[in-house]
């Protein structure tokens, strides 16, 4: 098979997964799920989580679980909304405040990790709690809302343009820069990368800075699309990132067929379809979590083991043919 055919087959495999989820819920909900307007909504809902996934991706590949990412998104959005509430700032300053706050908060999180020299997950939990408390102090109520002109960037085509810019930026950073190669080297083995001359500390810091930028933009998209940001409590900011993490895992599973970036987007799109699909079946919130967990495990098991299954079937075939030939 030539490269073009292989690429086409791989693209087909990647598309097959969301199509399978779509068809499944379409049939189960007797056509309630999956109307064009709903799918556009689903697509829109996927944009901010995908950016959060990109933000977390480099750190996760290098074995650093940044649980403060959700808190960074919520606090950045909260600060922007509060500025609108207090000073009635316009769209441009709003964008600067939200993205700037995301950049600063995410970078501080990275600096804390590098300075404290404690495991990333421990630092992230501490930072997460601090940021949640700051969000509480900055909040107006259970929810801090904005509307009108200030939410312009949450509408089509602006949200799509912002997402496309960030997608291209991440693609360049991850695929075509020294930083991207260093990340992948560190992802394979930090020790080997270090011995090969990669400055792992610098790479980690850049990971956090890149992550911070993407979290800032994700916060901007999130609050612009939703028009409000909840006040986090009980570590609820981590809820935001769990689905995004699952999106990354699906992306990693699909990496053998497509670029990781596309895989992550597909993963997040599937996660959103799962939520809305289960809702269309009338499942309660607690059952939705259970079912989406099981469903995701099935997808992961299938995706990671499909080659083994194919090999097993081929081996059996071959064995049978050999037995037949020897008889």
Partner 1 sequence: MKRITALLLTLAMMFSLIGCGGNNTAATDDGGADTGNRTAAAGDSADGTTDEVWADDNSGSGEVCGDENGKYTVGVIIHTTTDFLCSKYKAYTDYLGKAYSVKFNYYIIENFADETYLSAIENLCAQGVNAIITTNFSGTAVLQGLKICEENGVYLGVGWSQIEESIKDQVYASDYFVGGSYEADYDAGYEIITSLIDAGCSNIAAIGYEPGITCHDRRWEGMMQAFDDHPEVKKAGEYRGLEFTKAVEDFLASDNTIDGIAITLLGIEYCSEPIKSAGREGQVKIAFCDLSENCQESLDSGETICAIGGQYVDVVFPFVLLYNALEGNPMDKVEVPVNFIICKSGEEFSDYMTYLHSDGVYAWTTEEIDRLIKSKNSEASAKELLQMGAGYSIEDTIARHGE
Note the residues at the interface with partner 1 (CB under 8 A). Answer: 32-33, 35, 37-38, 41-42, 44-45, 79, 81-90, 97, 100-101, 103-105, 107-108, 111, 132-134, 136-151, 154-155, 225-228, 230, 233-234, 236, 239, 272, 275-277, 279-280, 282-285
Give the distance, in angstroms, between the CA of residue 192 and the centroid of all CA atoms in the same chain. Answer: 28
Pick between residue 283 and residue 300 the one whose CB is nearest to partner 1.
Answer: 283
Residue 83 CB, nearest approach to partner 1 (Å): 6
Compare residues 234 and 324 and give the one whose CB is closer to partner 1: 234
Q: Considering the complex, what minimum distance in angstroms separates the CB of residue 173 from partner 1? A: 18
Residue 25 CB, nearest approach to partner 1 (Å): 9
- Write the CB contacts of 211 (distance below 8 Å, at least 6 apart in sequence): 55, 56, 58, 59, 66, 69, 106, 110
Comparison of 86 and 327: residue with beta carbon closer to partner 1: 86
**Cβ of 319: how many Cβ atoms within 10 Å?**
10
Question: Whose Cβ is closer to partner 1: residue 41's or residue 121's?
Answer: 41
CB neighbours of 264 closer than 8 A, spacing ≥ 6? 50, 53, 54, 57, 247, 248, 250, 251
Q: In angstroms, give the least distance from the CB of 293 to partner 1.
A: 15
Cβ nearer to partner 1, comparing 41 with 169: 41
Q: Which ranges in 155-236 belong to alpha helices (H)?
A: 158-176, 178-188, 190-195, 200-226
Distance of closest approach, residue 85 Cβ to partner 1, in angstroms? 5
Mapped onto helix, strand or coil, the DSSP state of residue 211 is helix
Report the sign of the C-alpha dihedral through residues 146, 237, 174, 212, in that order.
positive
Which one-letter DSSP state was computed for residue 144?
E
* DSSP conformation letters of 108-124: HHHHHHHHH-S-HHHHH
| Cβ proximity of 58 and 207 under 8 Å | yes
- By beta-carbon proximity to partner 1, the closer residue of 88 and 157 is 88
CB of 220 to partner 1, least distance (A): 14
């Amino acid at each position: 098979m030539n490269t073009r055919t292989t690429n086409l087959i791989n693209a087909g495999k990647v598309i097959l997964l969301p199509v399978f989820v779509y068809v499944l819920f379409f049939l189960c909900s007797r056509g309630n799920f999956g109307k064009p307007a709903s799918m556009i909504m689903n697509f829109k809902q996927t944009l901010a989580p995908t950016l959060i996934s990109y933000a977390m991706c480099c750190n996760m590949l290098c074995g650093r679980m940044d649980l403060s990412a959700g808190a960074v998104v919520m606090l950045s959005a909260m600060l922007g909304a509060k500025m609108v509430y207090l000073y009635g700032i316009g769209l441009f300053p709003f964008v600067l405040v939200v993205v700037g706050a995301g950049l600063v908060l995410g970078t501080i999180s990275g600096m804390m990790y590098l300075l404290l020299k404690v495991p990333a997950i421990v630092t992230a939990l501490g930072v997460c709690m601090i940021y949640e408390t700051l969000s509480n102090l900055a909040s107006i109520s259970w929810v801090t809302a904005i509307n009108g002109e200030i939410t312009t960037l949450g509408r089509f085509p602006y949200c799509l343009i912002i997402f496309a810019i960030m997608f291209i930026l991440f693609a360049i950073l991850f695929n075509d820069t020294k930083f991207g190669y260093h990340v992948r080297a560190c992802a394979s083995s930090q020790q080997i990368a270090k011995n090969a001359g990669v400055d792992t500390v610098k790479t980690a810091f850049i990971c956090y800075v890149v992550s911070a930028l993407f979290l800032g933009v994700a916060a901007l998209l999130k609050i612009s699309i939703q028009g409000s940001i909840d006040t986090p409590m009980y570590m609820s900011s981590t809820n935001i990132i769990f689905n995004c993490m699952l999106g990354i895992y699906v992306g990693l599973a699909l990496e053998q067929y497509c670029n990781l970036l596309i895989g992550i987007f597909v993963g997040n799109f599937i996660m959103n379809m799962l939520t809305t699909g289960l809702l269309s079946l009338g499942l309660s919130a607690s059952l939705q979590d259970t079912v989406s967990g099981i469903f995701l495990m099935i997808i992961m098991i299938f995706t990671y083991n499909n080659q083994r299954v194919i090999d097993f079937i081929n081996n059996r075939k071959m064995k049978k043919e050999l037995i037949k030939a020897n008889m």
